[in-house]
Protein backbone atom coordinates (compact mmCIF):
# COMPACT_ATOMS: atom_id res chain seq x y z
CA UNK A 1 0.00 0.00 0.00
CA UNK A 2 1.44 3.36 -1.00
CA UNK A 3 1.39 5.99 1.69
CA UNK A 4 2.91 8.80 -0.34
CA UNK A 5 2.06 12.37 0.42
CA UNK A 6 -0.95 14.08 -1.11
CA UNK A 7 -0.83 17.70 -2.25
CA UNK A 8 -1.77 19.01 1.16
CA UNK A 9 -0.22 16.39 3.50
CA UNK A 10 3.32 16.46 4.83
CA UNK A 11 5.80 13.85 3.58
CA UNK A 12 5.73 10.41 5.19
CA UNK A 13 9.19 9.93 6.69
CA UNK A 14 11.06 6.70 7.49
CA UNK A 15 12.95 6.90 10.78
CA UNK A 16 15.72 4.47 11.80
CA UNK A 17 15.43 2.91 15.24
CA UNK A 18 19.08 2.85 16.21
CA UNK A 19 21.92 5.16 17.07
CA UNK A 20 20.42 8.03 15.02
CA UNK A 21 16.94 7.82 16.55
CA UNK A 22 17.20 10.54 19.21
CA UNK A 23 18.76 13.10 16.88
CA UNK A 24 16.29 12.27 14.10
CA UNK A 25 13.35 12.73 16.45
CA UNK A 26 14.77 16.04 17.72
CA UNK A 27 15.03 17.29 14.12
CA UNK A 28 11.52 16.12 13.25
CA UNK A 29 10.18 17.84 16.35
CA UNK A 30 11.88 21.07 15.29
CA UNK A 31 10.31 21.02 11.83
CA UNK A 32 6.76 20.35 13.00
CA UNK A 33 6.33 16.57 13.16
CA UNK A 34 4.65 15.26 16.32
CA UNK A 35 7.71 13.51 17.73
CA UNK A 36 6.14 13.20 21.19
CA UNK A 37 3.36 10.99 19.84
CA UNK A 38 5.93 8.72 18.17
CA UNK A 39 8.10 8.53 21.27
CA UNK A 40 5.07 7.76 23.43
CA UNK A 41 4.59 4.42 21.70
CA UNK A 42 7.97 2.92 20.85
CA UNK A 43 6.53 -0.47 19.85
CA UNK A 44 4.23 0.95 17.18
CA UNK A 45 5.83 1.23 13.74
CA UNK A 46 3.37 3.14 11.58
CA UNK A 47 2.18 6.57 12.71
CA UNK A 48 -0.10 7.45 9.82
CA UNK A 49 -1.42 10.67 11.29
CA UNK A 50 2.01 11.86 12.42
CA UNK A 51 3.46 10.89 8.98
CA UNK A 52 6.25 8.81 10.53
CA UNK A 53 7.22 5.15 10.23
CA UNK A 54 9.98 3.57 12.32
CA UNK A 55 12.16 0.60 11.34
CA UNK A 56 15.59 -0.98 11.48
CA UNK A 57 18.17 1.36 9.93
CA UNK A 58 18.97 -1.09 7.13
CA UNK A 59 15.31 -1.08 6.02
CA UNK A 60 14.97 2.69 5.53
CA UNK A 61 16.33 2.68 1.97
CA UNK A 62 13.83 0.00 0.87
CA UNK A 63 10.80 1.90 2.22
CA UNK A 64 11.93 5.09 0.50
CA UNK A 65 12.98 3.41 -2.76
CA UNK A 66 9.56 1.74 -3.00
CA UNK A 67 7.75 5.00 -2.26
CA UNK A 68 6.01 3.74 0.87
CA UNK A 69 7.81 6.60 2.59
CA UNK A 70 8.50 9.88 0.76
CA UNK A 71 11.58 10.69 2.81
CA UNK A 72 13.95 8.88 5.13
CA UNK A 73 16.90 9.61 7.35
CA UNK A 74 19.69 7.05 7.39
CA UNK A 75 23.46 6.78 7.75
CA UNK A 76 25.67 7.03 4.68
CA UNK A 77 27.09 3.62 5.69
CA UNK A 78 23.68 2.04 5.14
CA UNK A 79 23.15 3.83 1.81
CA UNK A 80 26.57 2.70 0.60
CA UNK A 81 25.71 -0.89 1.42
CA UNK A 82 22.20 -0.98 -0.04
CA UNK A 83 21.49 -2.49 -3.46
CA UNK A 84 18.57 -0.06 -3.69
CA UNK A 85 20.57 3.14 -3.32
CA UNK A 86 20.39 3.90 -7.08
CA UNK A 87 16.61 4.15 -6.55
CA UNK A 88 16.70 7.03 -4.07
CA UNK A 89 17.81 10.64 -4.10
CA UNK A 90 20.23 11.78 -1.40
CA UNK A 91 19.09 15.31 -0.56
CA UNK A 92 21.20 16.50 2.35
CA UNK A 93 24.01 15.66 4.71
CA UNK A 94 22.51 16.27 8.16
CA UNK A 95 25.98 15.94 9.74
CA UNK A 96 24.96 14.18 12.95
CA UNK A 97 25.65 10.50 13.63
CA UNK A 98 29.26 10.87 12.54
CA UNK A 99 31.19 7.60 12.57
CA UNK A 100 33.59 5.76 10.33
CA UNK A 101 33.78 2.45 8.54
CA UNK A 102 37.12 0.89 9.28
CA UNK A 103 39.19 -2.22 8.92
CA UNK A 104 40.09 -3.53 12.39
CA UNK A 105 42.19 -6.46 13.48
CA UNK A 106 43.82 -7.88 16.58
CA UNK A 107 46.45 -5.51 17.99
CA UNK A 108 50.11 -6.25 17.19
CA UNK A 109 52.87 -5.14 14.90
CA UNK A 110 51.73 -7.06 11.87
CA UNK A 111 48.38 -6.41 10.28
CA UNK A 112 46.85 -9.93 10.18
CA UNK A 113 44.93 -9.11 7.02
CA UNK A 114 48.00 -8.13 5.04
CA UNK A 115 49.96 -10.99 6.60
CA UNK A 116 47.34 -13.52 5.45
CA UNK A 117 47.37 -12.04 1.96
CA UNK A 118 51.17 -12.25 1.83
CA UNK A 119 51.18 -15.82 3.10
CA UNK A 120 48.12 -17.35 1.41
CA UNK A 121 46.99 -14.79 -1.16
CA UNK A 122 43.68 -14.05 0.56
CA UNK A 123 42.33 -12.76 3.89
CA UNK A 124 39.03 -13.56 5.58
CA UNK A 125 36.99 -10.49 6.53
CA UNK A 126 34.01 -10.63 8.89
CA UNK A 127 31.44 -7.91 8.32
CA UNK A 128 27.84 -6.78 8.23
CA UNK A 129 28.81 -4.64 5.24
CA UNK A 130 29.95 -7.06 2.50
CA UNK A 131 29.54 -4.67 -0.42
CA UNK A 132 31.48 -1.91 1.34
CA UNK A 133 34.23 -4.36 2.31
CA UNK A 134 34.49 -5.75 -1.23
CA UNK A 135 34.59 -2.23 -2.70
CA UNK A 136 37.47 -1.34 -0.36
CA UNK A 137 39.31 -4.57 -1.16
CA UNK A 138 38.98 -3.98 -4.87
CA UNK A 139 40.06 -0.34 -4.60
CA UNK A 140 43.15 -1.35 -2.62
CA UNK A 141 43.91 -4.48 -4.69
CA UNK A 142 43.45 -6.84 -1.75
CA UNK A 143 42.02 -10.28 -2.21
CA UNK A 144 39.44 -11.10 0.48
CA UNK A 145 36.82 -13.70 1.31
CA UNK A 146 33.77 -12.25 3.03
CA UNK A 147 32.28 -13.88 6.09
CA UNK A 148 28.91 -12.16 6.34
CA UNK A 149 27.72 -11.68 9.92
CA UNK A 150 24.64 -10.14 11.53
CA UNK A 151 26.19 -8.67 14.68
CA UNK A 152 28.92 -8.90 17.33
CA UNK A 153 31.37 -8.66 14.48
CA UNK A 154 34.34 -8.05 16.80
CA UNK A 155 34.12 -11.67 17.93
CA UNK A 156 35.08 -12.79 14.42
CA UNK A 157 38.50 -11.14 14.71
CA UNK A 158 39.05 -12.03 18.37
CA UNK A 159 38.16 -15.70 17.89
CA UNK A 160 40.11 -16.20 14.67
CA UNK A 161 37.06 -16.73 12.47
CA UNK A 162 38.36 -13.82 10.40
CA UNK A 163 41.72 -12.09 9.93
CA UNK A 164 39.98 -8.73 10.25
CA UNK A 165 36.61 -7.03 10.36
CA UNK A 166 35.09 -4.17 8.44
CA UNK A 167 32.73 -2.38 10.81
CA UNK A 168 31.50 0.96 12.10
CA UNK A 169 33.61 2.72 14.69
CA UNK A 170 32.31 5.60 16.76
CA UNK A 171 34.10 6.01 20.10
CA UNK A 172 36.39 3.01 19.48
CA UNK A 173 35.38 1.52 22.85
CA UNK A 174 34.03 -1.72 21.41
CA UNK A 175 37.28 -2.33 19.53
CA UNK A 176 39.42 -1.51 22.58
CA UNK A 177 37.41 -3.74 24.87
CA UNK A 178 37.94 -6.61 22.47
CA UNK A 179 41.67 -6.05 22.02
CA UNK A 180 41.27 -4.85 18.45
CA UNK A 181 42.83 -1.87 16.68
CA UNK A 182 41.71 0.21 13.76
CA UNK A 183 44.08 -0.31 10.82
CA UNK A 184 42.47 1.72 8.06
CA UNK A 185 39.56 4.12 7.79
CA UNK A 186 37.57 3.05 4.75
CA UNK A 187 34.86 5.72 4.72
CA UNK A 188 33.25 8.36 6.91
CA UNK A 189 29.53 8.33 7.57
CA UNK A 190 26.91 10.83 8.72
CA UNK A 191 23.11 10.92 8.64
CA UNK A 192 21.61 11.70 5.24
CA UNK A 193 18.15 12.84 4.18
CA UNK A 194 16.92 10.66 1.32
CA UNK A 195 13.86 10.94 -0.90
CA UNK A 196 11.78 8.79 -3.18
CA UNK A 197 12.42 10.22 -6.68
CA UNK A 198 8.73 10.28 -7.67
CA UNK A 199 7.71 12.02 -4.43
CA UNK A 200 10.55 14.46 -4.94
CA UNK A 201 9.55 15.34 -8.48
CA UNK A 202 5.85 15.64 -7.64
CA UNK A 203 6.39 17.74 -4.50
CA UNK A 204 9.72 19.39 -5.17
CA UNK A 205 8.90 22.69 -3.44
CA UNK A 206 7.50 21.16 -0.27
CA UNK A 207 10.31 18.64 0.02
CA UNK A 208 13.05 21.18 -0.74
CA UNK A 209 11.63 23.48 1.93
CA UNK A 210 11.49 20.67 4.45
CA UNK A 211 15.03 19.59 3.56
CA UNK A 212 16.22 23.15 4.31
CA UNK A 213 14.42 23.13 7.64
CA UNK A 214 15.87 19.74 8.55
CA UNK A 215 19.36 20.93 7.68
CA UNK A 216 18.87 23.96 9.95
CA UNK A 217 17.48 21.80 12.75
CA UNK A 218 20.36 19.34 12.47
CA UNK A 219 22.92 22.19 12.49
CA UNK A 220 21.42 23.33 15.79
CA UNK A 221 22.10 19.89 17.27
CA UNK A 222 25.84 20.23 16.76
C1 LIG B 1 28.25 -0.56 16.04
C2 LIG B 1 29.45 -1.31 15.51
C3 LIG B 1 30.31 -1.53 16.73
C4 LIG B 1 29.95 -0.35 17.61
C5 LIG B 1 31.04 0.70 17.53
O6 LIG B 1 27.32 -1.46 16.47
O7 LIG B 1 29.07 -2.52 14.89
O8 LIG B 1 30.00 -2.75 17.37
O9 LIG B 1 28.73 0.23 17.13
O10 LIG B 1 30.80 1.76 18.42
P11 LIG B 1 31.96 2.33 19.35
O12 LIG B 1 33.16 2.59 18.49
O13 LIG B 1 31.40 3.59 19.93
O14 LIG B 1 32.22 1.31 20.41
P15 LIG B 1 25.84 -1.00 16.77
O16 LIG B 1 25.78 -0.34 18.10
O17 LIG B 1 25.33 -0.18 15.64
O18 LIG B 1 25.05 -2.36 16.93
P19 LIG B 1 24.84 -3.56 15.93
O20 LIG B 1 26.07 -4.42 16.04
O21 LIG B 1 23.62 -4.22 16.46
O22 LIG B 1 24.65 -3.01 14.54
d(CA 87, CA 106): 38
Kindly give the distance from the C-alpha atom of residue 24 to the centroid of ligand 1, in angstroms, as a whole number: 18
Residue 8 predicted with pLDDT over 90:
no
Alpha helices in 66-203 (DSSP H): 76-81, 112-120, 130-139, 154-159, 173-177, 197-202
What is the average per-residue pLDDT within 57-61?
Answer: 97
Q: Which residue has the higher pLDDT, 181 or 2?
A: 181
Mean pLDDT, the chain, whole residue set: 95
Cα–Cα distance between 179 and 90 in angstroms, integer?
Answer: 36
Nearest CA to ligand 1 atom 20: 151
pLDDT in tens, 107-131: 999 999 999 999 999 999 999 999 9
CA distance 176 to 174: 6
Ligand 1 within 6 A of CB of 150: no
Q: Is the pLDDT of residue 218 over 60?
A: yes
Amino acid sequence: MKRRMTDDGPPMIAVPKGALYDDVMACLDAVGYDAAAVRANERRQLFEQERVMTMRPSDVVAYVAEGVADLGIVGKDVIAESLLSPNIYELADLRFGRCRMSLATLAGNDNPVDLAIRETGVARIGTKYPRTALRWAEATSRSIDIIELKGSVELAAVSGLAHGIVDLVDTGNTLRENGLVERTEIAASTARLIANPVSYIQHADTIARLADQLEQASAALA
